[in-house]
Amino acid sequence: MVFRKPPDGGWGWVIVVVSFFTQFLCYGSPLAVGVLYLEWLDAFGEGKGKTAWVGSLANGIGLLASPVCSICVSSFGARPVAIFSGFMVAGGLMMSSFAPNIYFLYVSYGIVVGLGCGLLYTATVTITCQYFDKRRGLALGLISTGSSVGLFIYAALQRELIELYGLDGCLLIVGALSLNILACGSLMRPLESSHSPPPEKTCGDKVPDQYFAYHEKEKTVEENISILEKGYIDEKCANNVPDCKQDSILNKNILSSINVNEKDTYKKKVVEQTNFCKQLAKRKWQLYLTYWKDTVVLFKNKVFSALFVAILLFDIGGFPPSLLMEDVARSAGINEDDYYMPLISIIGIMTAVGKLILGILADFKWINTLYLYVTTLLMTGVALFAIPFAKSYLTLAMLSGILGFLTGNWSIFPYVTTKTVGIEKLTHAYGILMFFAGLGNSLGPPIVGWFYDWTQEYDTAFYFSGFCVLLGGFLLLLAALPCWNACTNQSPKLPPNTYSYKVASSA
């Protein structure tokens, strides 16, 4: 399907608003799961690494399933997927209130809620990119702030609900709030496709129609023959019994000839069905081949290859603070009475600010968005190295704000991906990248939790996290350096804002 030119406004702003609230409602609780994490530690008495799997699955499983989510959005559209996912998120949160153990939470909160969030995220990003081109950075920045504002509000909201109604009541109320996603999803009107003649049916498409028409025709003929035959025999038998016997013999001869015809008809049906199955299998196999060929072409782009490594390492190292910062403060001996604001709330509000500012910066032509993204990775690595030296609420709050702002680079990640592979391959490429991001989200918090279980302190864990993020940033920087084009002489020098995003045909 070919979409018409993005309007960069109009109903697109309605899409931005509803996408903002969709991400606010679906990601508010999973991103602020650090508040629930402390309650689950006390309720189930499991280790930190084991309990951290709940939050990491909720934030990672949707990204791990991004290729499937992309296929769903491409096949059914953003609006049906958003409405269906709203039921998943709300149902998963409500089911979690009845969890008897940590393993039940892995399924209800980790998988069900996480998969619903992944579907919603893919739907909102895809439909926003379809409606915006020149202002895509601003639009993506605005909708991505929804999850950050949700983190800021839900961190305090869930803590207050737990004090008033307990952990179970909190999850039931938050699940009921998530049902508002259904109203938001109903407003995601798809962008109209350009007027083009419908494609002619291939042989594989024509086979089913021909077969079913042929099958119905043969069925009707057989029914008519049997009805006429039965009526004729009954009439003869009623009028003359001897004639009935003679006609019965004659009828047997007729039936034997009909049976011969039926055998030919059956063979013809078998041939038709076999041809249909062969055509269907051939089409499916061709689709799989095309998908893998497109995937290989994507990975021939050195920037795209470095991008998937960078996003994997960034999520392994950069995601744990948003989940574990409250427990880091408690492990450092900081009294909760000294809190002016929950650390998770600081991360949330600064992430919203970072997404908005970085999204606006991405629209400036004189700014190289890829280098801007690399800068945020390197600064995140330095901030993670500084966490073990923070022993007071003030220093942890400052680091939380810095990490939150830098985590706002999620708003420019779809922008960088689009510039790398083009809008036509965005869904395919973004699904692959989000799979690796989900893998990092799923592994990061448990790894940090296991480090704590082994060493009884978080210092080693955050040194490891900082190293991962710095390594990913340096690899992406090396892949994006313009000297590669000069060395290979494969393409002329590109303008500063297009980077070296052309796929090397002979790579």
Strand ranges inside 172-306, DSSP E:
none
Mean pLDDT of the chain: 76
The residue among 151, 174, 194 that closes a domain is 194
Residue 233 in this model has a pLDDT that exceeds 50: no
The pLDDT-based confidence of 418 (bands split at 50, 70, 90) is confident
Count other C-beta atoms under 10 Å from residue 202's C-beta.
Answer: 10
Specify the CATH number for the domain of residue 403: 1.20.1250.20
Residues 311/413, Cβ–Cβ less than 8 Å: yes
Split into its structural domains, the chain has a count of: 2
* Residue 334 Ramachandran class (φ > 0 left, ψ -120 to 50 alpha, else beta): beta
d(CA 100, CA 111): 16
Residue 206 has which token pair? 């024509």
**pLDDT at site 192:** 67
Closest among 128, 66, 48, 53 to 434, alpha carbons compared: 66
Share of the chain above pLDDT 70, in %: 75
289 part of a folded domain: no
Q: What is the predicted pLDDT for the residue at 271?
A: 67
Residue 190 shares a structural domain with residue 316: no
Residue 466 — φ and ψ, nearest 5°? -60, -40
Asked which of 149, 177, 194 is the last residue of a domain, the reply is 194
Q: Is residue 261 part of a domain?
A: no
Q: End of a domain among 194, 214, 230?
A: 194
pLDDT of residue 260: 56
| 203: Cβ contacts below 8 Å, ≥ 6 apart | 279
The three-state secondary structure class of 398 is: helix
- Residue 212 resides in a domain: no
Residues 167 and 305 in one domain: no
Question: Percent of the chain having pLDDT more than 90?
Answer: 19
pLDDT per residue over 355-396, tens digit each?
Answer: 888 878 887 878 888 888 989 999 999 999 998 888 888 888
pLDDT in tens, 238-293: 445 445 445 555 555 554 555 555 656 766 666 667 777 777 677 767 766 776 77
Asked, for residue 507, whether it belongs to a domain, the answer is: no
Confidence at 194, pLDDT banded by 50, 70, 90: low
Q: Say what the pLDDT of residue 291 is.
A: 66
* DSSP-assigned states of every residue in 100-150: SSHHHHIIIIIIIIHHHHHHHHHHHHHHHHHH-STTHHHHHHHHHHHHHHH
- Helices 114-131 and 413-421: crossing angle in degrees, nearest 10, is 60
Q: Is 218 exposed, middle or buried (0-12, 13-18, 19+ CB in 10 A)?
A: middle
Which residues on neighbouring strands pair with residue 3, listed in sequence order?
A: 193
Q: Give 52-87 pLDDT, tens digit per residue.
A: 888 888 888 877 777 788 788 888 888 999 999 999
Identify whether 258 is part of a domain. Answer: no
Q: Is 122's pLDDT higher than 60? A: yes
**Does 504 fall in a domain?**
no
pLDDT at 340 over 80: no
* Alpha carbon distance 447, 465 (integer Å): 9
Is 20 among the domain residues? yes
What average pLDDT does range 76-105 have in this prediction? 92
**DSSP assignment string, 56-90:** HHHHHHHHHTHHHHHHHHHHH-HHHHHHHHHHHHH
Alpha helix ranges (H) inside 300-368: 302-318, 320-331, 343-362
Two tokens, residue 93? 């949160």
105: confidence class by pLDDT, cuts 50, 70, 90: very high
The single residue listed with the structure tokens 């990672």 is 60
Which of 133 and 272 is assigned the larger pLDDT? 133
**CA dist., res. 385 & res. 330, Å (int):** 19
Range of the domain at 169: 1-194
Please tell me the predicted confidence (pLDDT) of residue 193: 59
For the chain, the distance separating the N- and C-terminal CA atoms, rounded to the nearest angstrom, is: 30
Helix (H/G/I), strand (E/B), else coil: 481:
coil
Flag the least confident range among 103-117, 290-304, 397-411. 290-304
Tell me if 456 is assigned to some domain.
Answer: yes
